């Protein structure tokens, strides 16, 4: 114990001696100084300088702008010594005066995007590009007004599109009435009968036309299969003018109870779902994949393709010819093969003003399903049930294919119309019709002017004609006075059974010019049987055609039936080829003709050279 006390006393004496020595060497200490050992073993009062300072109270501080990037990088400041913030944040200033923990990103899904918003920080999902329509429909997209997708079911499947948000409750352009859409209040005192092309009025939609059945003075049925309109919704109450259904009666209403759901547009998953309307990109056209078509050769694409065609038909002002009137558009069928089955006894219809276009006549294929209906035309140009004029419904640059052995009734075709006109028709088309005909233009309702049929390849077998213009006299209205220019064609049958059993063409009326074409493996080239009309309404000109050759015996390049109107036909540039006759002349008093036709020849009933 005595030794410890002696040591403690010695240490205290040494400290006092050191302080005394310091005062002896330097005098007084200034505020904030500390004693620092010197190289000679003495101590001296020193002020802190450089990056840190010390005050009289002993507080040590880092000076302004003294912590530099190099000082952080040299390892003196470690991650462990940094104050932590919330997960996925960084230190930053949103106002230029204070710092805070700012979210690095609010996005939780890989396809969302971020954008720095001044005063707010990173925001997520502004104008998003989503992988698909399927994913978009699972999200609450309330914050946005326009979105884009990279596909329909999956990204990159060809169905990417642009969508615009609508007010909650808005119906879609690609939302149509079902074929029999009504709870009917039949009314009374209507005139019994069947009425075609009756416009429906009222409701939230437009452009629905129906076939009305009236019995017992009341409307009993309304069928809008081929003109179901756009933007209608369940609960709409529709009516029709008595003038359209016999001129008498009152009280009819159709309360909509069934619609065909939109195939492109969709509702999102918000608590009050937002309607997202499909819109066509500027300068583009809708394609069938944007409406769900798979084009894989297996899936039935009928409903998707039909939805796209009805969408293109939409107009808010169909008064065509006025300065603000418009109607129709184009639809693109991408490369590949679509399987087309559809509902019972319903054709795929191309509505008024719609041009249905493919990537090429061997590139975009519509294949007829094996269960398609024998009594039903494959494609209709315009609604066949309106019975009035229809303009510019056209199919082009694609192939229509049916199995050769598939059943078909008489007068059933791959492409049919009774009312399209002007540039309406078919161009740059390949058709393998099997037992159907390739093209049948039947009536010309509404006083059709001209119809376009050009660059057409037609293969067929069975008992239907390859291309038929007009109907029989007994059918009533015919194509009298309608102009047809059938230019650049190849029409023929197969070289193996089942073989073609009818001619390449049958002309039953109209002002028809058939030119620049070839046909083979057929029993006859062009059969002309325009009857019951004046020459002014049933003229035919045939120029630069060549039929024959093959295992099927061709009886004539041209065949004039006994009921044809004498003097209605002119021919030129028709060689003998391999048919039995150049002209098989069955008109009363007519004689078949077998001299190469170079200059124009008229048959009245026999050949007269100009």
- Kindly tell me if the per-residue pLDDT of 369 is higher than 90: yes
Do 412 and 545 lie in one domain? The reply is no
pLDDT of residue 10: 45
Q: Is the dihedral of CA 115, 121, 126, 129 positive or negative?
A: positive
pLDDT band at 56 (very low <50, low <70, confident <90, very high): low
Q: How far apart are alpha carbons 382 and 391 in whole angstroms? A: 8
**Mean predicted confidence (pLDDT) in 347-356:** 97
Q: How confident is the model at residue 297 (pLDDT cuts 50, 70, 90)?
A: very high
Going by the DSSP 8-state scheme, the letter that residue 350 receives in this structure is E
Residue with tokens 């944040």: 89
Distance, C-alpha 36 to centroid of its chain? 85
User: Do residues 243 and 380 both lie within one domain?
Assistant: no
Asked if residues 524 and 553 have their Cβ atoms less than 8 Å apart, the reply is no
Is residue 133 scored above 80 in pLDDT? yes
Report whether 350 contacts 310 (CB < 8 A): no
Final residue belonging to a domain, choices 423, 440, 464: 464
- Cβ–Cβ < 8 Å for 568, 539: yes
The owner of tokens 């009298």 is: 480
pLDDT in tens, 554-564: 999 999 999 99
Tokens of 519: 């046909």
| CA-closest candidate to residue 409, choices 379, 432, 434, 384 | 434
The string of DSSP codes covering 177-212 is: E-SS-EEEE--BSPPPEEEEEEEPB-SS-EEEEEEE
181: left (phi over 0), alpha (psi -120 to 50) or beta: alpha
Q: Whole-angstrom Cα distance, residue 210 to residue 225?
A: 8
Name the β-bridge partners of 500: 462
pLDDT interval class at 474 (50, 70, 90): low
Claim to verify: residue 180 and residue 248 sit in the same structural domain: yes
> Are 605 and 512 found together in one domain?
yes
Q: Are residues 486 and 571 in the same domain?
A: yes
Please check whether residues 165 and 225 belong to one and the same domain: no
Q: For the purposes of burial, counting CB atoms within 10 Å of the CB of 321, is it exposed (0-12), middle (13-18) or buried (19 or more)?
A: exposed
Q: Tell the burial category of 368 from Cβ atoms under 10 Å away from its Cβ (0-12, 13-18, 19+).
A: buried
| pLDDT, position 106 | 57
Same-domain pairing of 597 and 485: yes
The helix (H) or strand (E) run that includes residue 390 is strand 390-391
Say whether pLDDT at 127 is over 70: no
| C-alpha span between 312 and 286 (Å, rounded) | 8
As a whole number, the mean pLDDT across the chain is 88
Question: 491 and 560: one domain?
Answer: yes
- Domain contains 585: yes
Residue 499's alpha-carbon distances to 375, 503, 584, in angstroms, are: 21, 11, 21
C-beta of residue 30 within 8 angstroms of C-beta of residue 41:
no
Q: Is the pLDDT of residue 80 over 80?
A: no
Is 213 found in the same domain as 243? Answer: yes
Domain boundary among 199, 225, 260: 260
Name the band, by pLDDT with cuts 50, 70 and 90, for residue 2: very low
Task: State the virtual CA torsion across 357, 361, 366, 370 in degrees, nearest 10.
Answer: 160
Task: Decide if 236 contacts 317 (C-beta within 8 A).
Answer: no
In a domain, 185, yes or no: yes
What is the end-to-end Cα distance of the chain in Å, rounded? 154
Question: What are the φ and ψ backbone dihedral angles of 162, each rounded to 5 degrees?
Answer: -110, 140
Could you give the CA distance from residue 118 to residue 127 in angstroms, rounded to a whole number?
17
pLDDT at res. 118: 64
Determine the structural domain holding residue 237 and report its residue range.
176-260
CB atoms within 10 A of CB 132: 21
Task: Tell me the per-residue pLDDT of 387-426, one tens digit each, with 9 for 90 and over.
Answer: 989 999 999 999 999 999 999 999 999 999 999 998 899 9
Cβ(568)–Cβ(598) below 8 Å = no
pLDDT of residue 471: 87
Bridge partners, 276 (sequence order):
165, 266
Cβ neighbours of residue 285 closer than 8 Å, sequence gap 6 or more? 312, 329, 330, 331, 332, 357
Task: State what percent of residues in the chain have pLDDT above 70.
Answer: 86
- Nearest Cα residue to 525 out of 458, 441, 430, 603: 458
Query: Is the pLDDT at 65 greater than 70, yes or no?
Result: no
Contact present, 583 and 553 (Cβ < 8 Å)? no
Is 75 a domain residue? no
Residue 37 backbone dihedrals phi, psi, to 5 degrees: -60, 140
8 Å CB contact between 308 and 288: yes
Both 266 and 256 in one domain: the answer is: no
More confident residue, 79 or 494: 494
Q: How many distinct structural domains can be found in the chain?
A: 4
Cα gap 360→289, rounded to integer Å: 17
Percent of the chain with pLDDT over 90: 67
Lowest mean pLDDT among 58-72, 343-357, 476-490, 591-605: 58-72
Stated as kind and residue range, the H or E segment containing 8 is helix 2-26
Q: Are residues 144 and 269 in the same domain?
A: yes
Please check whether residue 21 lies inside any domain of the structure.
no
Residue 14 falls inside a structural domain:
no
94 against 360, higher pLDDT: 360
Report CA-CA distances (Å) from 78 to 70, 285, 577.
13, 59, 97
Does the structure show a pLDDT above 60 at 26?
Answer: no
Which parts of 79-189 fold into alpha helices (H)?
Answer: 133-136
CB contact at 8 A, 367 and 339: yes
Given 279, 306, 339, the domain boundary residue is 279
Element (H, E) at 21: helix 2-26
The per-residue pLDDT for 6 is 42
Indicate whether 12 belongs to any domain.
Answer: no
Over residues 212-224, the mean pLDDT reads 97
Comparing 103 with 447, which gets the higher pLDDT? Answer: 447
Asked if 406 and 432 touch (Cβ cutoff 8 Å), the reply is: no
Same domain for 414 and 493: no
Q: Does residue 62 belong to any structural domain of this protein? A: no
Pick from 88-92, 293-297, 369-373, 517-521: least confident: 88-92
Whether 196 has a pLDDT exceeding 90, the answer reads yes
Angle at 448 between CA 444 and CA 453, to 5 degrees: 85
Is 482 strand, coil or helix? Answer: coil
| Strand duo 511-520 + 540-547: pairing | parallel
Is pLDDT above 70 for 374? yes
State mean pLDDT over 63-67.
63
Residues 6+ apart with CB under 8 A from 395: 350, 355, 356, 379, 381, 415, 426, 429
Whole-number pLDDT of residue 93: 77
447: confidence class by pLDDT, cuts 50, 70, 90: confident
Q: Which helix (H) or strand (E) holds 80?
A: none
Instruction: Give 91-112 pLDDT, tens digit per residue.
Output: 777 777 888 887 666 566 666 6
- Whether 38 is in a domain gets the answer no
How many angstroms separate the CA atoms of 235 and 175, rounded? 14
């Amino acid at each position: 114990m005595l030794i410890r006390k002696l040591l403690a006393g010695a240490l205290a004496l040494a400290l006092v001696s050191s302080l005394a020595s310091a005062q002896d060497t330097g005098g007084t200490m200034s505020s904030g100084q500390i004693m620092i050992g010197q190289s000679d073993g003495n101590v001296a009062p020193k002020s802190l300088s450089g990056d840190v300072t010390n005050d009289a109270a002993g507080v040590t501080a880092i000076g302004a702008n003294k912590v530099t990037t190099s000082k952080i990088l040299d390892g003196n400041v470690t991650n462990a010594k940094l104050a932590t913030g919330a997960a996925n944040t960084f230190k930053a200033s949103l106002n230029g005066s204070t710092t805070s923990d700012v979210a690095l990103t609010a996005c939780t899904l890989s396809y969302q995007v971020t954008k720095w918003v001044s005063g707010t920080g990173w925001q997520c999902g502004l104008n998003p590009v989503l992988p698909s329509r399927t994913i978009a429909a699972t999200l609450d997209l309330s914050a946005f007004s326009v979105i884009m997708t990279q596909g329909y079911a999956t990204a990159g499947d060809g169905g990417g599109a642009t969508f615009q948000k609508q007010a909650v409750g808005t119906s879609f352009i690609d939302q149509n009435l079902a074929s029999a859409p009504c709870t009917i209040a039949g009314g009374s005192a209507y005139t019994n009968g069947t009425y075609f092309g009756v416009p429906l009025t009222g409701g939230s939609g437009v452009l629905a036309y129906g076939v009305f059945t009236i019995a017992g003075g009341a409307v009993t049925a309304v069928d809008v299969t081929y003109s179901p309109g756009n933007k209608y919704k369940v609960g709409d109450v529709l009516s029709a003018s008595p003038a359209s259904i016999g001129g008498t009666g009152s009280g009819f209403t159709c309360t909509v109870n069934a619609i065909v759901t939109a195939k492109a547009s969709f509702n999102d998953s918000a608590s009050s779902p937002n309607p997202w309307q499909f819109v066509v990109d500027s300068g583009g056209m809708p394609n069938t994949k944007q409406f769900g078509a798979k084009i894989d050769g297996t899936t039935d694409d009928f409903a998707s393709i039909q939805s796209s065609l009805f969408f293109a038909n939409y107009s808010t002002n169909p008064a065509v010819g006025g300065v603000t009137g418009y109607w129709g558009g184009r639809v693109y069928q991408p490369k590949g093969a679509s399987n087309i089955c559809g509902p019972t006894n319903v054709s795929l219809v191309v509505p008024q003003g719609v041009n249905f276009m493919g990537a090429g006549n061997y590139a975009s294929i519509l294949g007829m399903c094996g269960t398609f209906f024998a009594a039903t035309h494959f494609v209709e140009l315009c609604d066949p049930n309106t019975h009035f004029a229809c303009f510019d419904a056209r199919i082009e640059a694609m192939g229509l294919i049916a199995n050769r052995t598939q059943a078909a009734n008489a007068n059933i075709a791959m492409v049919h119309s009774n009312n399209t006109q002007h540039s309406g028709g078919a161009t740059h088309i390949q058709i393998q019709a099997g037992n159907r005909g390739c093209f049948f233009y039947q009536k010309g309702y509404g006083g059709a002017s001209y119809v376009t049929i050009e660059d057409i390849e037609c293969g067929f077998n069975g008992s239907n004609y390859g291309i038929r213009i007009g109907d029989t006299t007994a059918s009533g209205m015919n194509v009298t006075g309608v102009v047809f220019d059938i230019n650049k064609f190849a029409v023929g049958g197969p070289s193996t059974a089942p073989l073609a059993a009818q001619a390449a063409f049958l002309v039953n009326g109209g002002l028809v010019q058939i030119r620049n074409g070839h046909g083979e493996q057929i029993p006859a080239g062009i059969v002309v049987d325009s009857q019951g009309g004046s020459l002014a309404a049933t003229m035919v000109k045939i120029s630069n055609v060549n039929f024959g050759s093959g295992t099927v015996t061709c009886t004539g390049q041209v065949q004039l039936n006994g009921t044809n109107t004498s003097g209605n036909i002119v021919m030129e540039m028709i060689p003998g080829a391999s048919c039995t006759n150049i002209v098989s002349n069955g008109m009363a008093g007519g004689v078949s003709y077998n001299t190469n036709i170079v200059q124009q020849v008229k048959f009245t009933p026999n050949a007269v050279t100009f």
